[in-house]
Amino acid sequence: MSSRPLIKIKDLSIHFPLGRRMFGEPPVLKAVDGVSLDIPKGSFVGLVGESGSGKTTLGRAILRAAPITEGSIVYDDGERTFDVKDIKPRDLKEYRRRAQLIFQDPYAALSPRMTVRDIIAEPLEVMGLTKSRAETDERVREIAAKCRLNLEHLRRYPHAFSGGQRQRISIARALVTGPKFVVADEAVAALDVSIQADILNLLKSLQRDLDLTFLFISHDLSVVAHVCDFVAVMYHGKMMEQAPTRELFANPKHEYTRCLLSAIPSLDPDDRRPVRIYNPEETA
């Protein structure tokens, strides 16, 4: 893993308006509040924090799907550099090709009226990245094989498949354009535990195979401990702590991180450690 950041986020704030006020500043919800984070090229960075802490909004902002209020996000893969806030319309397609999203819910994300082949091919066709149907088919078959999908299944419809298979289809669709960076937002949360392990192993092998960099958004710290080499912790829109995974788990610096870690279930039936509840006023 090289230490050069593929994504450099600096002092990022994303505020959503909360209605109008007659006098003074209109009220805003600070979904992301002054966050800085480097995502090194080739890394698998976990982004954790409770519901509403701003994880999805941060991931969407990197993909240029949430409005940046202040600060900057710079993408630099060595071939191309993009200042995400100011991408020119003519460069947008190129950025979308390089930075992709894997959705949470493999049941909702796939159109029931399209074959698996057409679902995977769609981004190539929308972006005009192939010159012929034969070339599209070749690219689809190539990525489907890498995602360990049975090529016979490309003619079928997604309802015929289990949750794990559908998530493989979503992953193939996200990777067919040849991205360098992928946001995986709760990508295994909707799956049974045994299937989760399967998909996590697939993501890790695709990372090595295709030289990908991941931002892996998750509620589940045991999953993050298993796959991520670096972890960032958010709370109420702010970045609380970021560190290599081993270091963060062995020696959490922030009280909120300690509380999160105390909530990981132990496999020891005699372990009756209390779950700590974070109270920012106590630690201020």
Pick one of 4, 16, 244, 275: the residue that binds ligand ATP (CB under 6 A).
16
Asked if 53 is part of the footprint of ligand ATP (rule: CB under 6 A), the reply reads yes
In the complex, minimum distance from the CB of residue 26 to ligand ATP, in angstroms, rounded to a whole number: 13
Burial of 258 (0-12, 13-18, 19+ CB in 10 A): middle
74, 81 contact by CB (below 8 A) = yes
Q: Rounded to 5 degrees, what angle do the CA atoms 31, 92, 53 make?
A: 15
Q: Which residue is it, tokens 């993408």?
A: 75
Nearer to ligand ATP, 215 or 227 (CB): 215
> Binding residue for ligand ATP (CB under 6 A) from 49, 123, 179, 252?
49
Of positions 5, 13, 28, 29, contacts ligand ATP by CB under 6 A? 29
Instruction: Please select the residue that binds ligand ATP; options are 52, 71, 163, 178, rule is CB under 6 A.
Output: 52
Q: Contact between 26 and ligand ATP (CB under 6 A)?
A: no
- Number of other CB atoms surrounding residue 139 within 10 Å: 18
Contact range with ligand ATP by CB under 6 A, out of 53-61, 87-95, 121-129, 260-268: 53-61
Q: Is the dihedral of CA 171, 172, 173, 175 positive or negative?
A: positive
CA distances (Å), origin 86, targets 80, 82, 115, 145:
14, 8, 36, 36
If binding is defined by CB under 6 A, does position 81 make contact with ligand ATP?
Answer: no
* Residues of the shown chain interacting with ligand ATP in the complex, contacts defined by CB under 6 A: 16, 29, 31, 49, 51-57
